Amino acid sequence: MYTYTEEKKFTKEQVQELFLSINWVSGNYPERLYRALMNSSTVLTVWDGERLVGLIRVLDDTAMLAQIHYVIVHPDYQGKGIACAGHSIDHEQRSKGISTSKPVTIEKDVWIGANSVICGGVTIGEGSVIGAGSVVTKSIPANVVAVGNPCRVLREVREEDRIPMDELAF
């Protein structure tokens, strides 16, 4: 059974293991990483028993805005899908609370830009980028940049997209 908590009960070693499990470089700086998480306003964690298997870092101003900075899922727990609820388009059914649920699948190493919406039944392929503010109504293949409402493929991810190491933010 999975449990979720906002309590920062994780240890430095547990977060390091989680970040390294997906090859994030910040896992190589456990002191800074742990301090950053402890100083973050909200960190939601997911546990399989005593094992840390997921983490969501939220940055907020405590009054008006909260943004999900990132979502990390341990590779052993990826690919399980996210259920997306919907209601009947027919108003009589809707008024009786008749609703649907279609899975959303977000494959590995996807970047979803701020304020995007992913509709039920959609898969976003490995390595793809969804531009800010997109509404994704149909599945997006792997390794592409896709933008807009409705979200459409703009181009493939290219070698030139790699940021030179001396320009890295972290």
Total count of residues recorded for the chain: 170
Do the beta carbons of residue 43 and residue 58 sit within 8 Å?
A: yes
Is residue 129 within the footprint of ligand COA (CB under 6 A)? yes
Query: The tokens of 127 are what?
Result: 């390595």
Of the pair 38, 59, the CB lying nearest ligand COA is at 59
Residue holding tokens 């919907």?
A: 86
Strand partners, 134: none
Of the pair 27, 113, the CB lying nearest ligand COA is at 113
Enter the DSSP assignment of 163.
P
Least distance in angstroms from the C-beta of 93 to ligand COA: 34
- Determine if the peptide bond prior to 150 is cis (ω within 30°): yes
Least distance in angstroms from the C-beta of 96 to ligand COA: 37
Between CA 107 and CA 97 the distance in angstroms is 31
Between CA 35 and CA 162 the distance in angstroms is 28
Stretch that binds ligand COA, among 12-20, 82-90, 91-99, 127-135 (CB under 6 A): 127-135
Active site residue 69: no
Is residue 127 within the footprint of ligand COA (CB under 6 A)? no
Task: Kindly tell me which residue out of 15, 37, 53, 145 binds ligand COA, with binding defined by CB under 6 A.
Answer: 145
Kind and range of the H or E run holding 30: helix 30-39
Residues in contact with ligand COA, counted by CB under 6 A, come to a total of 11
Of the pair 120, 148, the CB lying nearest ligand COA is at 148
Catalytic residues: 87
Q: Where do contacts with ligand COA occur on this chain (CB under 6 A)?
A: 113-114, 129, 131-133, 145, 147-148, 154-155
